[in-house]
Amino acid sequence: MNTKALLITPPFTQLNTPYPATAYLKGFLNTKGIASFQADLGIEVILKLFSKQGLTDLFGEIERNSKSQIPNHKLEERDVKSSAVEMSQPKTPNSQPRTPNSERILALKTEYLKTIDPVMLFLQGKNPTLSHLICSEDFLPEASRFTQLEELDWAFGSMGTQDRAKHLATLYLEDISDLIVECIDPHFGFSRYAERLGRSANSFDELYESLQQPYTYIDKLLVELLQERMKEVNPQLVCFSVPFPGNLYAAFRSAQYIKQHFPGVKTVMGGGFPNTELRSLADKRVMEFFDFITLDDGEAPIECLIEHIEGRREVSALKRTFTLVDGEIKYIDNSGCKDYKQSEVGTPDYSDLLLDSYISVIEIVNPMHRMWSDGRWNKLTMAHGCYWGKCTFCDISLDYIKIYEPVAARLLVDRMEELIAQTGQNGFHFVDEAAPPALMREVALEILRRNLAVTWWTNIRFEKSFTADLCRLLKASGCIAVSGGLEVASDRLLELIQKGVTVAQVARVTRNFTEAGIMVHAYLMYGFPTQTAQETIDSLEMVRQMFETGILQSGFWHQFAMTAHSPVGLYPEKFSVVKDSDIVGSFANNDILFTDNSGANHDKFSFGLKKSLFNYMHGICFDYPLQDWFEFKVPRTKVPEDYIYAVLQEDDSLNIKPTAKLVWMGGKPVISYFTKSKKGRSFEMAELALHDKKESYSIQVSKENGDWLADFLEKASVQNTGTTTFAQAKKDYESTQEDFELFWYSKPVNTLREYGLLVL
């Protein structure tokens, strides 16, 4: 095969579904007739390692290295981010004995070799009956990760057999992972590899030094697979997509191998990490590994690079690209080369990837995190950038957020149908910064018009435009979950963040989603500049009440981090904070250390916030005083104990705009007529019989209203491409009858509203 571009996602991102960047780029290159091949080396390394042959080799390697042990480092329950960093700290071999946990796993080698292949097949969805054996709890060998089970039994008590088996199988894999970290490769982690080397690395020194060391065991697996791909594909250009710090080391290791063994091949890095961290790159040593580094949207830069490699474009005409010119790093951005519109970039193409080999794991009990790691999702984007673009903690100065461009609903659903045909999967994760409500409405209507059966979820802002009826429409189209930023549940801080929402508004919107049957996950933030201990506790109380009233089902606390491209990072004085240093490093520059003299010390709040949230997510401990979650004195909350409940009692359903769209999601009514007598008078009546998926029902109205309703429901049917507004319906009704509002708020119409007559 002679392919111009090999597109690689280096280890590790997700185990359950491909990271979409290479599929996006391959879809674009298809539109240009440029041959390409893509590979997710992360899942390929995992599949090679977690197999009977892979474990046989692993155990053999440990036995050979038994005289140079990795020191004990106990893994405890910690903050997710700090745990990831600490797990990846480099360790040097010494003569200390192995931990009892590793000795136990090694002693059970035969059991691990017996079970690994069936377990991996089960997690790939190819061996579902194994769940019964796994759940019997005498099939899998158990090491330290299984000590969590007693604590989690109450949380997983209502789980089905498949889900419980997935969780047990995940613990089993994590036990093996602990063995690898202790005895083989301290950098290892399922969704990150050597993450510490890429996180806030202002200097390239440490990463460069690690790349001069001999290959680790995982490195060897990686380069063996890379060599196979290079020989099979024979590319002219290898493009590495590096979305996270945890992909960085493996990308450099892979590029290093290509430079050493395929010196005629050009290498390029793009993706989320360089987009945010490498915008001021100055260390020339980086270019020993990569010929080019591109920023922001990759379509135009890669097309320019391919033309350059073919001799059809000068280096001075590249697009948003770092490269060496006369021995110095130069950033080249040909403003005459335009970016492509979203309608021009093509449908993501997932071919070449091992779609039936990804594994679904259930690591933790957070419902939204579970969706990120369980199940195969086709990734799509409703809109490029963010339509709001004001949040002061966000990198709104960068093009990937600043330049907003939605995709037309019809084109988007066309792409959904193409991906269903291509992958056989009808689940979609829209990876938007924040999906626009109006576009979500049009996409939902288009899905319903085409009678598609799809499942989808996305990220949103808690806009007031997410009314109860819009949420019902989204649910009918297949939406199962949304995630959005509540951030700091304090109106003062939400205004400082320029979030454009209030806590009350968020509460009403989350109520609307919840009542429609859509799960809601809230991103929560603490430690924003000037945030006081009082505001932190009041924020926790707001969150407690939202879980207690049932309008939130999932959440996660993140500690505020100042980034270089956000308004807080660009103008810290406006937020009463001071940068600890103005020195710009020669390598990665994004996270900024700062001092906030007016706010609280938020490091100490971390454990209590997360522990309380863990319990609230499981519907318990709502009656605990907030003080109980902290080992230090905290202020009493000033939030009234019924604040959220009171907010939810407000009703604005009578305020219908004349331009509101009326949509009927039900079927065609069967109309019959009868005469009703009352006090000697006769009335011609109509009965409309209807059916939904669960039951049959009917309404009775006057004959005139019945005839009008039958005609109106057909016009307003979701299957029709035309629109019927409230004003149009009122005008049409009052051309033959009187007082549309009186009829609209009558009991028969209210019944139709309950069964799918929506005001959007």
303 alpha carbon, distance to own chain's centre: 28
Average pLDDT over residues 312-326: 95
- Residue 427 DSSP SS3: strand
- Under a CB-based contact definition with an 8 Å cutoff, are residues 416 and 444 in contact? no
Average pLDDT over residues 691-698: 92
By percentage, how much of the chain surpasses pLDDT 70?
A: 92
Angle between helices 161-183 and 149-156 (to 10 degrees): 150
What is the overall mean pLDDT for the chain?
89
Range from 41-55, 143-157, 361-375, 449-463 carrying the lowest mean pLDDT: 143-157
Residue 79 confidence (pLDDT) above 60: no
Residue 585 confidence (pLDDT) above 80: no
- Residue 268 DSSP SS3: strand
* The predicted structure's pLDDT at residue 2: 62
Q: How confident is the model at residue 84 (pLDDT cuts 50, 70, 90)?
A: very low
Q: How confident is the model at residue 364 (pLDDT cuts 50, 70, 90)?
A: low
Sequence ranges of the domains in the chain? 5-343, 377-648, 661-759
Torsion angles phi and psi, residue 430, rounded to 5: -85, 115
Q: How confident is the model at residue 581 (pLDDT cuts 50, 70, 90)?
A: confident
Q: How confident is the model at residue 378 (pLDDT cuts 50, 70, 90)?
A: very high
* The predicted structure's pLDDT at residue 78: 30
The DSSP line for 43-85 is HHHHHHHSSHHHHHHHHHHHHHTTTSBPPP----S--HHHHHH
The full length of the chain comes to 760
- Under a CB-based contact definition with an 8 Å cutoff, are residues 520 and 546 in contact? no
Average pLDDT over residues 402-426: 94
Strand partners, 482: 458, 520
CA pair distance 628, 641, nearest whole angstrom: 17
Nearest-5° Cα angle at 231, 229 to 235? 80
Q: How confident is the model at residue 151 (pLDDT cuts 50, 70, 90)?
A: low
* The predicted structure's pLDDT at residue 391: 92
Angle between helices 299-309 and 21-31 (to 10 degrees): 60
* The predicted structure's pLDDT at residue 561: 87
CA pair distance 121, 127, nearest whole angstrom: 5
By percentage, how much of the chain surpasses pLDDT 90?
A: 73
- Under a CB-based contact definition with an 8 Å cutoff, are residues 647 and 545 in contact? no
Q: What is the dihedral of CA 543, 548, 550, 552, to 10 degrees?
A: 20
* Range ranked top by mean pLDDT from 321-325, 565-569, 591-595: 321-325
At 371, which helix (H) or strand (E)? helix 367-373
**Pairing mode, if any, of strands 681-691 and 594-595?**
unpaired
Residue 87 confidence (pLDDT) above 50: no
State if pTM tops 0.85. Answer: yes
* The predicted structure's pLDDT at residue 241: 97
Q: How confident is the model at residue 367 (pLDDT cuts 50, 70, 90)?
A: confident
Residue 447 confidence (pLDDT) above 90: yes
Q: Per CATH, is 377-648 categorized as 3.30.750.210?
A: no
Residue 30 confidence (pLDDT) above 80: yes
- Under a CB-based contact definition with an 8 Å cutoff, are residues 518 and 479 in contact? yes
Q: How confident is the model at residue 155 (pLDDT cuts 50, 70, 90)?
A: low
Q: How confident is the model at residue 546 (pLDDT cuts 50, 70, 90)?
A: very high
Average pLDDT over residues 591-599: 80
Residues 6+ apart with CB under 8 A from 299: 25, 28, 339, 340, 345
Residue 398 confidence (pLDDT) above 90: no
Q: How confident is the model at residue 397 (pLDDT cuts 50, 70, 90)?
A: confident
Residue 196 confidence (pLDDT) above 80: no
CA pair distance 620, 708, nearest whole angstrom: 51
Residue 96 confidence (pLDDT) above 70: no
* The predicted structure's pLDDT at residue 195: 62
Average pLDDT over residues 49-55: 97
- Under a CB-based contact definition with an 8 Å cutoff, are residues 8 and 41 in contact? yes
CA pair distance 350, 419, nearest whole angstrom: 8
